[in-house]
Amino acid sequence: SEEVKNDISNFFENARGTECAWNKAEVIPVNVRRNIKLAEAPSYGKTVFEYEPECNGSKDYQLIADFLRKGPQPKQPPAVQPYQPAAIHPQTIPIRQIPQTQNQPQPIPIQQIPQSIQPQSQPAQIQQFQQPPQTTGI
């Protein structure tokens, strides 16, 4: 689990610069996923690579072998792809004309809008806020 991995990493970090036998130890940066094929392979007298070479367990152990063969590699940030917006081709977007019909609502001239909902010609006056008088504690 991630918690165990972090505990071991912290333990190794604390051992750096000491006389401990594990002062240069590192945690292999590969997680071996749970996989039933890892448990089944020995019962057939085979390695997981022979028993089920394409299972997650085989792939994870192969990553560990590659890591041990090559040694620690400097961490490189993942390559960032520049943003490219999707191309829009106006000629491919169909434009549909909406025919005018007799049933479509027509805009109402402002003279016919009831007085109660017409916009005010002058802005409302702002009343000045006054602080309440301060009282002394009782």
pLDDT digits (tens, 9 = 90+) for 104-115: 666 656 565 566
User: Over pLDDT 90: what percentage of the chain?
Assistant: 21
DSSP annotation of 122: S
Residue 54, pLDDT > 90, answer yes
Compute the distance between CA of residue 124 and CA of residue 43 in angstroms, rounded to an integer.
88
Q: What is the pTM of this model?
A: 0.46
Residue 25, pLDDT score:
86
Mean pLDDT over 3-25 rounds to 88
Cβ neighbors of 28 (< 8 A, separation 6 or more) are 64, 67, 68
Which of the 8 DSSP states describes residue 40? H
DSSP assignment, residue 89? -
Q: Provide long-range contacts, Cβ within 8 A and 24+ apart, for 46-54.
A: none
